[in-house]
Chain A
Amino acid sequence: MNTKKEDILDIAAYIRDELKFDHAESVAGVDYPSSKEIEVVYHLGSYTEPQLAKQILSLATRLPREDVPNPGEDRTRMTSLRDIFYSVEFHERECFEMFGVYFEGHPDNRRLLLPEDWADIPPLRKDFKIKGR
């Protein structure tokens, strides 16, 4: 399911309240430098509804991407879904440091896996190259 980033909060609330999906399995960022976009994909599942146990709902939205990222200051930002799905907390933190996507309303936008003194661009963006490759 693809949405605009302005609508994602309403759609997520609908998914939780009406469709009964109750937790996030993963939050994945995908970088598309050719179209200057970053996609954020939420994979949602349900523990409470037996018919939905087999289903994974993927909720995706695309954000504008700047060539020189400055996490927190640029336009790559979206509303955090933490108020809807509590379980996205650490996943969004990971997405923040790896792609520079700033989640507005997230209570704890800090680094998680990267070293504290990491001073390069977010490493999972496509323009970050592994040395020697």
Chain B
Amino acid sequence: MTTQLPPGMQLEKVDDRIMTLNVGPQHPGSGHMRLIMKVDGDFIVSCDPDPGYVHRGEEKMAEYRNYIQNIPHLERPVIHDSCNILYPYCLAVEDLLAIEVPERAKYIRVMASELNRCVYTLYWLAIYGIFLGHSTMFMWPMGDRELFIDLLEAMSGARVTHAYFVPGGIRNDIPANFEERCLRQVNYFEKRLKEYEDIFYQNPVLKQRTEGAGILSKIDAIRLGTTGSVLRASGVDFDVRKKEPYDVYESLDFETQVLREGDSYARSRVPYLDMLESCRIIRDALKKMPKSGSVRTKLKPNPKGGNDEAYRRVESGRGSLGMYIVSDSKTEPYRVKISVGSFRNLICMPYLLKGEKLGNMPAVYWSLNYWPVEADR
């Protein structure tokens, strides 16, 4: 009796040397995804990533809601970076509806997105720390993350799911004492980052575990179409904020952080260097921001796009994040495609883990800055 089982559920011939190991989907080392690994003793022979455990059909849901109703649910794939995932959506809808954004709103958007980048990166850093057995690096970022959450809460009223960006600007203006408070916390955080450097990045144990683990060459990084910190750790100078500046990034003072090593250590260091740049951007934006003015262009009720399409991208905490919106003159978008950094970086997992020791799996996996919920959408 041979009944055809659905793909992925077939039984496999058992080898006496190679063992198949399922890491995940509940394993704390993998996040909500499964890595089907074949191991020979301690070494990984092959790795087949199996995402989809947190697939929620965001793209389908977006076709049923109008442009404004889409805002709160489109940020769900990555709630720690909700400003950055709404950013390309707002930019694309502004293109479709031909809306001008007030100058002050542009600066506040940039600040909110940089604060949110720090929130995300600190969360990621905490997990990276704990999986390498460094529990101080779990506590510190989790604690310092609250500073930025407080700032974003003052801006938007919500701790995590802000839904702060709307097509045409931002939902509401920042509170009166915000600038001073923001500056104080950024100054404090920059001092803290120096301590992170000493306790974590200069730690010989961390260096030993991550240096040389999972090397991605520059050519491969380009060929595999990686993005964000993975790409920049392999020596490719590409940051959407610099290369295709949106809103006011052109006028702000910051640099793209590029490292050449391409190993897990470099990949874990690029987001850290990015946080230092974020502090610079926030400080500069606070200085250059118009002190008063409108923050939101009023939209018509139930706005409609023409028969048009738009693709816009921004640099999120995990790399370039693009939104492709097709409109057919209705109040709902015809199709929304979210192209996320995590999904694009997923492809390097089989390449980086092959031949690596099983014990190095968390060091390599988490250095990819992979967020399963975002990749599944």
Q: Is there an interface contact between A30 and B9, defined as CB atoms closer than 8 Å?
A: no
> Interface 1/0s, chain A 85-112, versus B by CB < 8 A?
1111111001000100000000000111
Smallest distance from the beta carbon of A2 to chain B beta carbons, Å? 12
Q: Is there an interface contact between A43 and B346, defined as CB atoms closer than 8 Å?
A: no
Q: Is there an interface contact between B52 and A43, defined as CB atoms closer than 8 Å?
A: no
Q: Is there an interface contact between B60 and A30, defined as CB atoms closer than 8 Å?
A: no
Complex interface: chain B residues within 8 A of A128 (CB): 60
Q: Is there an interface contact between A87 and B311, defined as CB atoms closer than 8 Å?
A: no
Asked if A54 meets B320 with Cβ closer than 8 Å, knowing A26-B337, A112-B52, the reply is no
**A86 closest partner in B (C-beta):** B223
Q: Is there an interface contact between B222 and A113, defined as CB atoms closer than 8 Å?
A: no
Query: What CA separation (Å) do A81 and B55 show in the bound complex?
Result: 25
Within 8 A of B (CB), among A1-57: 22-26, 28, 30-31, 41, 43, 47-48, 53-54, 56
Query: What CA separation (Å) do A92 and B59 show in the bound complex?
Result: 16
Within 8 A of A (CB), among B301-330: 311, 313, 320, 322, 324, 326
8 Å CB contact of B7 from A24, A88, A89, A116: A116
Query: What CA separation (Å) do A123 and B244 show in the bound complex?
Result: 33
Query: What CA separation (Å) do A35 and B9 show in the bound complex?
Result: 37
Query: What CA separation (Å) do A115 and B224 show in the bound complex?
Result: 26
**A43 closest partner in B (C-beta):** B311
Q: Is there an interface contact between A23 and B223, defined as CB atoms closer than 8 Å?
A: yes
Asked if A25 meets B6 with Cβ closer than 8 Å, knowing A53-B243, A90-B347, A114-B52, the reply is no
> Interface 1/0s, chain B 218-238, versus A by CB < 8 A?
000011110100010000101
- Asked if A130 lies at the interface with its beta carbon under 8 angstroms from chain B, I say yes
- Asked if B51 lies at the interface with its beta carbon under 8 angstroms from chain A, I say yes
> Interface 1/0s, chain B 25-68, versus A by CB < 8 A?
00000000000000000000000000110010101110010000
Complex interface: chain B residues within 8 A of A116 (CB): 6-9
Complex interface: chain B residues within 8 A of A115 (CB): 52
Query: What CA separation (Å) do A78 and B101 show in the bound complex?
Result: 41
8 Å CB contact of A26 from B9, B52, B222, B322: B322
Asked if A25 meets B225 with Cβ closer than 8 Å, knowing A87-B344, A111-B7, A130-B61, the reply is yes
**A126 closest partner in B (C-beta):** B63
- Asked if B171 lies at the interface with its beta carbon under 8 angstroms from chain A, I say no
- Asked if A124 lies at the interface with its beta carbon under 8 angstroms from chain B, I say yes
- Asked if A117 lies at the interface with its beta carbon under 8 angstroms from chain B, I say yes
> Interface 1/0s, chain B 239-261, versus A by CB < 8 A?
00001100000000000000000
- Asked if B148 lies at the interface with its beta carbon under 8 angstroms from chain A, I say no
Complex interface: chain B residues within 8 A of A80 (CB): none
> Interface 1/0s, chain B 344-370, versus A by CB < 8 A?
101100000000000000000000000
Complex interface: chain A residues within 8 A of B223 (CB): 22-23, 86-87
- Asked if B334 lies at the interface with its beta carbon under 8 angstroms from chain A, I say yes
8 Å CB contact of A53 from B222, B224, B244, B322: B244
- Asked if A79 lies at the interface with its beta carbon under 8 angstroms from chain B, I say no
Q: Is there an interface contact between A56 and B347, defined as CB atoms closer than 8 Å?
A: no
Among A25, A58, A110, residue most surrounded by chain B Cβ atoms (within 10 Å)? A25
Q: Is there an interface contact between A30 and B57, defined as CB atoms closer than 8 Å?
A: no
Query: What CA separation (Å) do A87 and B222 show in the bound complex?
Result: 9
8 Å CB contact of B326 from A30, A98, A112: A30
8 Å CB contact of B311 from A30, A56, A85, A111: A56
Complex interface: chain A residues within 8 A of B55 (CB): 113-114
Q: Is there an interface contact between A25 and B7, defined as CB atoms closer than 8 Å?
A: no
Q: Is there an interface contact between B238 and A47, defined as CB atoms closer than 8 Å?
A: yes
Query: What CA separation (Å) do A27 and B344 show in the bound complex?
Result: 11
**A52 closest partner in B (C-beta):** B243
Query: What CA separation (Å) do A59 and B6 show in the bound complex?
Result: 33
**A90 closest partner in B (C-beta):** B347
Complex interface: chain B residues within 8 A of A124 (CB): 59-60
Q: Is there an interface contact between A87 and B347, defined as CB atoms closer than 8 Å?
A: yes
Q: Can you list 7 A-B contacts with CB-CB less than 8 angstroms, sorted by A residue number?
A: A28-B324, A53-B244, A112-B52, A114-B52, A116-B7, A116-B9, A128-B60
- Interface residues of A, Cβ cutoff 8 Å to B: 22-26, 28, 30-31, 41, 43, 47-48, 53-54, 56, 58, 85-91, 94, 98, 110-117, 123-124, 128, 130, 133
The 10 closest A-B pairs by CB, nearest first: A87-B225, A26-B339, A23-B225, A113-B52, A28-B337, A53-B243, A116-B8, A113-B55, A54-B244, A47-B222
Q: A28-B337, A56-B322 are in contact. List 19 more A-B contacts (CB 8 A).
A: A22-B222, A25-B227, A26-B324, A28-B335, A43-B322, A43-B339, A47-B231, A53-B243, A86-B223, A86-B225, A87-B224, A89-B347, A98-B59, A114-B55, A116-B6, A117-B6, A117-B9, A123-B57, A130-B57
